[in-house]
Amino acid sequence: MDMLTRMQTGRFKVFRHLSDRFEEFRLYHRKDGKVVKEDDDLISATRDAMMMCCALPRRKPPTTNSARRFVIRKTGNLTLIR
pLDDT digits (tens, 9 = 90+) for 29-77: 888 988 888 888 888 888 888 888 777 777 776 665 555 565 555 555 5
pLDDT at 65: 55
CA 41 and chain centroid, separation: 17
Closest to 12 in 3D by CA, of 24, 3, 1: 3
Could you tell me the pTM of the whole model?
Answer: 0.53
End-to-end, the C-alpha distance of the chain in Å comes to 47
Yes or no: say if 41 and 24 are a contact pair by the CB < 8 Å rule. yes
Helices (H) and strands (E) in the chain, counts: 3, 4
pLDDT at 82: 47
Higher per-residue pLDDT: 73 or 12: 12
The DSSP bridge partners found for residue 71 are 79
Distance CA 19, CA 72 (A): 49
